[in-house]
Structure formats: C-alpha cells, structure tokens
Amino acid sequence: MHVVVVIDHFSRKIMAAVPLEGPNAGWVINAIEEAIEKYGSPKHIISDQGSAFISEAFEECLKNNNHIKHRLGAIGKKGSISVTERANLTLKSEWLNHVPIIRGIDHLHGLCNEFQVWYNSWRPHMALDGNRPDDVFFSNLPEAPPRDAKSVPTEIEIRYFRQARITGYRLKKAG
C-alpha cells in the first residue's frame, strides 16, 4: 500500500494523507482534487517523478484546476521535495511504526486521518518556530511576550497552556 501526502509548503499543513492500493494516477488525482476542493487551488504542485505524477491524466487534472504549474523534484538533489519527504518520514516513524498490524486499507485510512489531525493541530515544528501548522495556515499565532519579560504573561499561559504543568524545580543539597 502507498500513502499520498499533499502538504502546504509554507505552513507545513498536511492537506491530505490518503492511502492508495497502488501508485495509480486516478487515486492520486482524487486525493489532490479532494485537497483542492477543501482548501483551494495552489499556484504550484511540486512532486517526485513517480509514474502517477508524470502521467497525462495528472497533467490534465492540473490544467483543469486553475492551470496549476507542476514542478518536478530533481532526481538525487537534496531538498527539492524535502518538506514532503520529512512529513512522510514522520508519518512512518512517529505514527505507523507504532501500529503492530495494519488491518487493511480502511484501517490505514483511519490512521492517516488521525495522523493528519495530530500533525496539523498538536505537533510543534522547529521550522515554524515551535508553532503548529494549523496556527500558521489559519494565521492564529500566539502573541509573543515582550523581549524584556522574565516569564510568560498569565493571560497567554492560561489561554495556550490550560493543563497544569511543572514550571521548575528547586534543588537543594540533601543533608
């Protein structure tokens, strides 16, 4: 089984993570069109050079959706599709590898939906200064405390960190 991942490069938001029974252009097109219907048409789509992405049907799909420009990642060039590859690695290493048995395409579809929610809504990203993709995509970034602040202002702490948490330890010598 394969999973096609559609990701917004700027916000790192996963627009779609759809399991496929094979790298078929028709299934890839359905996943892309679902993301376009939900979030709108992008200016560019960057993909690898897999057979599903270089097919005439895929190019026709891009043409029919606001003439989206298709850019292919360079073969063997580090970084050309690195954002998507990193999301794929996270899907495998932090999500799917923790499932002992994937019981079919429907189970994998549910796992991909759960991963998408977790990745977009809960997982902080270093490239986004610790923000989550949904925060960046929907321009819902928390207010930064002033540079001279010694601690996080109470109203920000209450709004964004509702759970009780330990903020520090006092250590003293036993004896």
CATH code at position 76 = 3.30.420.10
Length of the chain equals: 175
Question: 85-89, 108-112, 139-143: which has the minimum mean pLDDT?
Answer: 139-143
Which residue range is the domain that position 132 belongs to?
A: 2-142+151-171
Domain count, the chain: 1
Confidence of residue 116 (pLDDT cuts 50, 70, 90): very high
Burial category of 65 from C-beta neighbours within 10 Å (exposed 0-12, middle 13-18, buried 19 and up) = middle
More confident residue, 78 or 145: 78
Phi, psi of 2 (to 5 degrees): -125, 160
Q: How confident is the model at residue 25 (pLDDT cuts 50, 70, 90)?
A: very high
Residue 80: how many CA atoms within 13 Å on its side-chain side?
12
When pLDDT is averaged across residues 96-119 and rounded to a whole number, the result is 93
Q: What is the pLDDT of residue 117?
A: 94
Q: Which residues pair with 20 in a beta bridge?
A: 2
Banded pLDDT at 158 (limits 50, 70, 90): low
| pLDDT tens digits, one per residue of 60-85 | 999 999 999 999 988 777 777 888 99
Residues forming beta bridges with residue 44, ordered by sequence position: 69
Whether 166 has a pLDDT exceeding 70, the answer reads no
**pLDDT of 151 strictly over 70:** no
Q: Are 73 and 46 in contact (CB under 8 A)?
A: yes
pTM for the whole thing?
0.76
What's residue 140's pLDDT? 84
Instruction: Please state, rounded to an integer, the average pLDDT across all residues of the chain.
Output: 84
**What's the rounded mean pLDDT across residues 82-106?**
92
Bridge partners of 62? none
Asked if pLDDT for residue 170 goes beyond 70, the answer is: no
Q: Work out the percent of the chain whose per-residue pLDDT is above 90.
A: 59
